[in-house]
Every structure is written in structure tokens, then in C-alpha cells.
Structure 1
């Protein structure tokens, strides 16, 4: 089963379709809602909704999701019933399978209720497919349309002295590279306010669209990245780090210890990540779609588009 624990929740929806083919006298019974078992449309609708809610029990590798809305619609055509199932959730993965299962179960229910009135060869289910989906990475891109530069500053005296490997900073560099940021100016600095401030100022002067500091956001006596970056911010964007902390606290209560700040310094978006690898990876997972969106919008503004 795929691990979706590092995927942020988002509003997601899917619409799937299926067709139930039957002779005209059967379609008339569906239209008039008259079979010996009762109303075929009402029964198929409820069956489809229930199937959407229990898809994870039917498909062995499907994740359980909270279903916030589900509906099944029918349109009676010349030789078939067109079925559409729509499902909504807020979660870490999509509801395509829930919509497809709902449409399929609705079609099966129509088949079951109409089979006494037709020969087996006269009834058929087909053309089951996904019509649309929204949310997740298809709706909130995690990759730039064109490359943009970034600066990553790993702030840790033990790492700078070679006493500790930089797993956190490298994870940020790798994630940004996969998202299309290029070139990436990666540096390791000691816990020194002046050196960190000079490096941030240099990145801003070169017009780096994104500056990420890693480390120095905790409560230790040497954790002074926040005190270095925050006074330089000209346009605060507190929602970024609020989202990162909210994402992190669902995975570890210690995420609240991060004092990270974010905002524009001139034309550069600066974000301050925690220095642990887990904290950096969780922050990146929570923020990457927003970072991509924000820097692309700001670049369009800068070009006057």
C-alpha cells in the first residue's frame, strides 16, 4: 500500500461515467421507476453512494478516505442509461477509484433490477471511465513551468565544521531540483548572525526568486536565523510557516518548536526551514506547491505580465 503520510491534504473531486445498455422496454421501466424490486434509479443511486463510501473495503490497495459528498446521476438515452458519479473529499489522495466504483455499482444495480425483463445478451455494461478529477498534484503543480534560481543556506556550526553530515540541507536541494529550480546556490554556514545575514543579502542582491535557510529556527541559544531573516522581510507571508507547522504537528508534536518565518525580502521569497531532516522534509512537503505558485506569480508581476 502506498505511503501517503507525507502528502498534504487538499480538496479533491472526481467524476466517472458508465453506461448500462438495455432494450427499449427495459429503459422505459427505468424511466418510469417501475420494476418488481422497486425504483431502479433510487436503488442504483444509493448503491453507488454506498460503494463510494466503501471503496477501500473493495479494492485491496485503496486508502480509506472521508467522503464529504457523493452523488449519482442518470440520463436515459435511446439505447442506454448514461451514469455519472461524482465524489468529493479533503485528503492526501484522490477519489478517482471511489467515483469509478460508484458508477460501476450503480450500473450493476440497474442490471440486477432489469434482468428479469430481458435476455442476458440484451443487457450490457460498458464504457466505464474517468471524466475528470481535481485537486492534488494535477491541480496544484509541484514543478515549475520554466527553471528559476534558488539559494539554499544550511546554517549549522557542526555541519560547517565537518562534524555532521548535512542531510536536511541536501534534502531541500534535491526537492527543489526535482521541482525545476535551477541553478541552486547551496552553501553551508556556521551559526553566525553576520555570515548568515551577508549570505541572505547577497542572494537578494543577485535576484534569487527563492531563498531557503535550513536550521537555526529552534529555541537553542545559537538558533538566530529567525532574528537574522525577520528584520529583512519587507512583505511578510506568515501563512507559509503556519501551514508548515500545522502539517508538522500532525506528525510530531515537536513541530511547534520551530519559530520559522517567511516573506519577501525585496523580490526574493525567503522561507526558514527547521534543521532536522524530518522537519525539513515535512516543511517541503507542506509548502512546495505554494512555493512554486508564489514564485511563478511574482515572476510574472516582475515582468509586467
Structure 2
């Protein structure tokens, strides 16, 4: 038990808004309505305290990670017998920022409590809660109108299915994301064989295949020919997919840059090359899903303007 390992979670934009409400006797409303108090300006002190509280969360809460915070804002509203404090925190990182927002709101409320004590002892802090939480890979999970079908090809001259941890790992993740498996097989490191299999499953009229994932044959040895075979089959190469996989992997091992995998579309089938090792495959799948699923909406023509509007709003925050 203890701090949760978030090292393999992909970075994404995350934000949270927390609220704390300080209640006071309305007899002091006139004295503080403009933010004044015996110890100073309520608004200034709350903003400084809320900002410091959010930044120091990992020092105060034992199992919180020290995270890079991109923005903190603290807003106060004084009503007849309440001061509502809202703290918004934003970060691009592996885990959420709700604890930072909650801590900022709490510390801000405690600081306001402290400076109002000389005016009235009947003060209370209530309703410390999260008002909004956004970000993380969960926001990119999409409901697809049609069933998705996949093929997994392990490229190996010597590996059997009993030994194939990488291929079985891909199958498990595809099942998790709702794909139906059309085929999972092991084929040799042979350029013509790989090309033939990719064309067969992409062009098959018997069963549509939305995605083919290969594992193995992406290195620099003489027998590693998966990228060459894949390129010969593609109608459109999508370099951003494998750039993202290598970028994600490079942060975890310096060997990721040696992978030569490619990705792209043949017809209406997405083909992605993954490395051969189980660890590299696990990391690649973390980077690949769920974001890659959106491409099937593009291929099928289901993409809507609503999605672009959502993306624009997310980037502006």
C-alpha cells in the first residue's frame, strides 16, 4: 500500500475545480463586503494562500505525487453570510489534479477564517467539494456505432503461441476496448508472407477488419522486415501514430528510438506495427489507446463538428 505508480499512464491535459464555503454571522457582512478585514484584504490573502496550498499538496497529503502545475486560479464571492471560494488547477501530466484543487480551496478557506476571527467567532467552513474534474484518457473513450474487428499478427520465426506474451497481450487489450477478434496468428519474418497476410485481411470480402496490429520485426536486424512489408501495403501512412509510440517509449527506455515500426491505412483498415518485446508492447498500447479509436469514425465518415468543438474547448482551458 502507498503511492500509486502512474509512470506508465500517458500524459494528458487535466483540470479540476474545487469549492470551499466559509459561513459567517451576517452581522459582519458590511465590514467585509469589500474584502477588508483587520488582518488585510480577504481576496488577496485567499488567492495567495489557495495558490500556495495547491502547489504544496504533495507535502501535505502523504500519497499525492509532486506534479507540474501549469495554472492555478482562485476566485472569491462574498454573499450575505457566505464566502464562496473556488480554486481551479490545470496540469499536463499522468494523474489528476483534484487533490490540488481541494487543498487549495481548503487552505484558502482556513486563511480567510484566520483573518476574520477578530470580527466574529461564529465561523464555519463547509461544502469542501469538487465541482468539476476533466482530463485523462477516460475523456477520449468513444462509443462507436458499429462493432470493430481486429487481427493480431505476431512476426516470428521461432515463437509459439504458448511463448507469445506480446500477441496475447494485444488480444487482451483489444478485447478490453470492445474489438472482436477475427484472427490471431504467428507468421514468419518473411517480407512476402507479411505483405500477403496484411493484404488478405485488409481486402477480405468475407469479414471486415478495422484494425491489424503486428508485433515483432521492427528492429534493425537483417530479418526485421515488418515495416518494409507494411509500407508496400499502405494507401496512406499515418506517421503521427508511431511517432507518439516512440516518444512515449523513449521517456521510459533509450532503446525505443531503434524501433522502425510504421502505421497507416489500407482501404478502411488501420495497420499498426508494434515492437516484439512484451514490455514495449505494453507501453505502446498505453500510448495507442483509447485515442486511436477515433480514427474509425473518420474512416467511416461518422466524425462530427461536435467533436471539433469539444477539442477546441478543451485546448482553450
TM-score normalised per structure 1: 0.92
Q: Tell me if 1:197 matches 2:195.
A: yes
Larger displacement relative to structure 2 (164-173 or 102-111): 164-173
Q: Tell me if 1:296 matches 2:294.
A: no
2:202–2:267: 8 Å Cα contact kept in structure 1?
Answer: yes
Distance 1:77 1:229, change over 3 A: same
Give the secondary-structure state (helix, strand or coil) at the position aligned to 2:111: helix
Aligned to 1:105: 107
Q: Tell me if 1:125 matches 2:128.
A: no
Separation in 2, partners of 1:70, 1:85: 7
Distance 1:126 1:27, change over 3 A: same
Give the secondary-structure state (helix, strand or coil) at the position aligned to 1:151: strand
Q: Which residues of 2 match residues 59-138 of structure 1 at below 5 A? A: 59-119=61-121, 122-138=122-138
* Structure 2 unaligned blocks of 5 or more: 304-317
Give the secondary-structure state (helix, strand or coil) at the position aligned to 2:221: coil
Aligned to 2:181: 183
Separation in 1, partners of 2:245, 2:286: 8
Distance 1:145 1:52, change over 3 A: farther
Q: Which residues of 2 match residues 1-305 of structure 1 at below 5 A? A: 1-119=3-121, 122-141=122-141, 147-160=147-160, 165-206=163-204, 207-301=208-302
1:143–1:178: 8 Å Cα contact kept in structure 2?
Answer: no
1:157–1:190: 8 Å Cα contact kept in structure 2?
Answer: yes
Distance 1:208 1:43, change over 3 A: same
* Structure 1 unaligned blocks of 5 or more: none
Q: CA deviation at 1:183?
A: 2.9
1:232–1:265: 8 Å Cα contact kept in structure 2?
Answer: yes
Larger displacement relative to structure 2 (139-148 or 220-229): 139-148
> Could you report, residue by residue, the CA deviation over 1:126-152 in whole angstroms, capped at 9, with x for unpaired residues?
111111122102322278676411111
Separation in 2, partners of 1:37, 1:104: 19
Distance 1:97 1:289, change over 3 A: same
Runs of 4+ in 1 over 4 A off after TM superposition: 142-146
Distance 1:46 1:278, change over 3 A: same
Larger displacement relative to structure 2 (134-143 or 195-204): 134-143
1:143–1:292: 8 Å Cα contact kept in structure 2?
Answer: no
TM-score normalised per structure 2: 0.89
> Could you report, residue by residue, the CA deviation over 1:142-185 in whole angstroms, capped at 9, with x for unpaired residues?
7867641111101111114x7x7111111111111111112352
Distance 1:102 1:186, change over 3 A: same
Separation in 1, partners of 2:295, 2:31: 55
Separation in 2, partners of 1:81, 1:297: 48
Separation in 2, partners of 1:276, 1:204: 25
1:144–1:180: 8 Å Cα contact kept in structure 2?
Answer: no
2:39–2:115: 8 Å Cα contact kept in structure 1?
Answer: yes
1:26–1:114: 8 Å Cα contact kept in structure 2?
Answer: no
1:142–1:179: 8 Å Cα contact kept in structure 2?
Answer: no
Question: How many correspondences in the alignment?
Answer: 298
2:171–2:181: 8 Å Cα contact kept in structure 1?
Answer: no
Q: CA deviation at 1:221?
A: 0.7
